[in-house]
Structure 1
Amino acid sequence: MAEAEARTESVRTVVVAGAANLAIAVAKLVAGLISGSAAMLSEAAHSVADTTTEVLLYLALRRGARPADTRHPFGYGKESYVWAFLAALFTFVAGAGFAITHGVTTIIMHEHTGAYLASYLVLAVSFVIESVSLTRAVRQVRRESRRWRASPRRYLRLTADTTVKAVFLEDSAALIGLLIAGAGLGLSHLTGDELYDGIASILIGVLLLTVATILARSNVSLLVGRAVSERVHREIERELAGLPTVDRVDTLMTMLLGPEDILVAAKVDFHDDATGADIEAAADEAERRLTDRYPEIGYVFLDPTRSMPGAGGRRARRTQDEGDRPADQEAGAGGQS
């Protein structure tokens, strides 16, 4: 899938999820007000948070796709992570905060109105709608994971496309939240004890808190400047080392400038008899090879460097030892390794 097609697919996924969440939020709110259920009102807050998140993710996709200019020569890809981070914060504050607080209040003093039927109907319809939205997100995850030759689970863990990751996690959390709300309502209905409804509300808040934390950490890592995966790093290194006039790749550094934009910079030791024309040709060939293999690579910078004593045959240096890198730093082009 071409870069433009992948971005369009992400926009469609976000729009579908946003429309579904908006409709569900209204239905849950009405049912929550009629029944007085803490779990239903928490689910309404959950859907409102998800709807706002989709709006912010849409902004992330649109603003991050703007072309480079003189003030931002590497483009606006990292701005998408800013908006995605704000979306995670909103889920943390508005969704999780309301659900946990309202659940505690319900356990302490709330009395249920006893109107359960509306809540059950809304939960059932919401489950169907959320399943449709999640199915679309799953299809995109599977397509992208095949493109990067990674398992869907690994793709989700390491992908640099945080909009797809956010939609998948939020829709998954929405389905789990609906099951929790249904269980809490059912137990309160059977026992007449509102404790279960309050506990369900708190569990929904904890679920939202977990999703928000995962997304916030992922976006912070990308904002700081994350490298490509170890697998992609090795393949880039092999391509550079395989150039006819190259003796060795001394240092290789990469950075994800956006969900579909990668920078490659390397110190390269060319043959001693290589002319300026040979080095220019090698640089052009390097860019052609790398962009053919990974169309997301937008910038390739090669810095000719002299041989270092005792350095023959060793691999390119990293900025820190591989064994010291945290697991979440092993992400790369599309996040996969």
Structure 2
Amino acid sequence: MPGAIDQRILGTRRRARAPRLARELHQEAANYVHRARRSRRAGGLRAESSRSWLYDGGPFLARHRRADVEGRPPTVSEGTTRAVFAAFLGNLAIAITKAVAAAMTGSGALLAETAHSIADSLNQIFLYVGLRRSARPATERHPLGHGKEGYFWALVVALFLFFGGGIFSIYQAYDRLAHPHAVEQAAVGFIVLGLSTVFEMFSLSVAVRELRHAAREDGVPVRRFFGQLQDPALRTVIYEDSAAIAGLATATIGLALTVATGDHRFDALASAVIGIVLIYVAYQLAWGARGLIVGQAPPERVREALEATIGSEPYIDKILELVAVQMGTDQLLVMARVSVHDEIPAGDVERLMVRLRDRLRREHPEVTDSFIELAPADA
């Protein structure tokens, strides 16, 4: 049954067309299965082996799982966790100060910013939950791991930001227009907005520093790296902090115009603009999470590196098919079908697969699962 499942993953199975190679592959696989069964009976092979050689009469298929080989599950990026904690502490402090200022001034824009900061604080908790749960190891129920759960929590963040921040802010704008409130003690509002800007800029600087560090490690420009960023937590922190700074600037302008003109509509308009900004950010986050949940390919540079690793192996004629899917932050599923030269000795089949496994693990540590199917050169 496992062989059938793997064949469905890799696509339609093709029978070996070269009789000699097919017989040798069949014999090599049969010998390995016999040795594996003997070793398992002797207690020398775990149920989840670091090398699972699967064969069901078609081309030879090998699977490699990173967690099995390394004996540990994928880990959470320390830089991302640091950025999330910095954002949480900053947003919590900001939410408290904004709430006090909103109560003292009666400003709708400050109340909208209070809702924004509360939503951001709760969102950091959601992101941290996603980070921890996505790092859990694979189980029998979830054989490909839990990496995509981080994308689910990123979607929850987007929904919460949409309703808890954007819709609430627009409602506050409508309420201020329908039921005008006088703005009092504006000086308190300006002080709080200034302090909040300092907190938000600190939080954003931490996230941007982590982004630049990751981009420098990959040798990619920061702007391009951010566009291809697969880390939902870091992406969310940068988007939210940028939106927060834009919202603070809007609230400051709205409050200043209200004080200068005495027209409360500027305060209401600022609240509406903040709501629109939050809805836009929520849309961007939700759309990014959608692509990752559905199954998104890694950047082209990663695919090219995988092709170079597999194609440089001796006896590999060409890569017939290569599929790579992002399964989580720094977690990649690779499925490849390669043709091998007909003159490959049967004894070298297993060694070839071991080399491929080791090279993928060493050169591409983000590859958590790999399925490689061997076919004859004329397949």
| TM-score, scaled to structure 1 | 0.87
- Aligned counterpart in structure 1 of residue 262 of structure 2, from 177, 181, 192: 192
Q: How does 1:79-228 map to 2 (within 5 A)?
A: 79-228=149-298
The letter of the residue matching 2:77 is R
Whether the 8 Å contact between 1:56 and 1:86 is mirrored in structure 2 is yes
**SS in structure 2 at match of 1:223:** helix
Residue 278 (str. 1) matches residue 348 (str. 2): yes
Give the CA deviation at 1:294.
Answer: 2.0
C-alpha change, 1:5 and 1:142, in structure 2 (3 Å) is: farther
Partner SS state of residue 255, structure 1: strand
Q: Is residue 150 of structure 2 the alignment partner of residue 56 of structure 1?
A: no
Deviations 1:170-229 (A, max 9, x none): 111111111110000001110001111111111111111111111111111111111111
Matched, 1:243 2:243: no
Which sits farther off after the overlay, 168-177 or 107-116? 107-116
Q: Is the contact between residue 113 and residue 248 of structure 2 (CA under 8 Å) also seen in structure 1?
A: yes
Shift of 1:289: 2.2
Q: Is the 8 A contact 2:134 2:150 kept in 1?
A: yes
The one-letter code sitting in structure 2 at the alignment partner of 1:48 is I
Q: Are the equivalent residues in 1 in contact too, given 2:76–2:132 (CA < 8 A)?
A: no
1:69 paired residue number: 139
- Counterpart of 1:134, as a letter, is L
1:289 corresponds to: 359
Q: CA deviation at 1:78?
A: 0.7
Question: Which residue type is aligned with residue 268 of structure 1?
Answer: V
Q: Which secondary structure state, in structure 2, belongs to the residue aligned with residue 305 of structure 1?
A: strand
Letter in 2 for 1:151: P
Question: Following TM superposition, by how much is the alpha carbon of 1:243 offset from its aligned partner in structure 2, in angstroms?
Answer: 0.7
Displacement of 1:276: 3.4
SS in 2 for 1:74: coil
Change (3 A) 1:6 1:144: farther
Task: Please identify runs of 4+ aligned residues in structure 1 that moved more than 3 A.
Answer: 3-6, 306-309
Q: What is the distance in 1 between the residues matched to 2:247 and 2:221?
A: 26
Instruction: Please give the alpha-carbon distance, in whole angstroms, between the structure 2 residues aligned to 1:202 and 1:307.
Output: 64
The runs of 5 or more residues in structure 2 that have no matched partner are: 1-72
CA distance, structure 2, for counterparts of residue 26 and residue 135 of structure 1? 21
* Structure 1 gap ranges (5+): 310-337
Distance 1:6 1:78 in 2: 13
Q: Indicate conservation of the 8 Å contact 1:245/1:278, yes or no.
A: no
Residues 305-324 of structure 1: matches in 2 within 5 Å? 305-308=375-378
Task: Tell me the CA shift for residue 69 of structure 1.
Answer: 1.7
Distance across 2 between alignment mates of 1:277 and 1:196: 79
Q: CA RMSD in A?
A: 1.6
- Structure 2 vs 1, CA of residues 135 and 6 (structure 1 numbering), >3 Å: closer, same or farther? farther
Q: Secondary structure at the match of 2:343?
A: coil
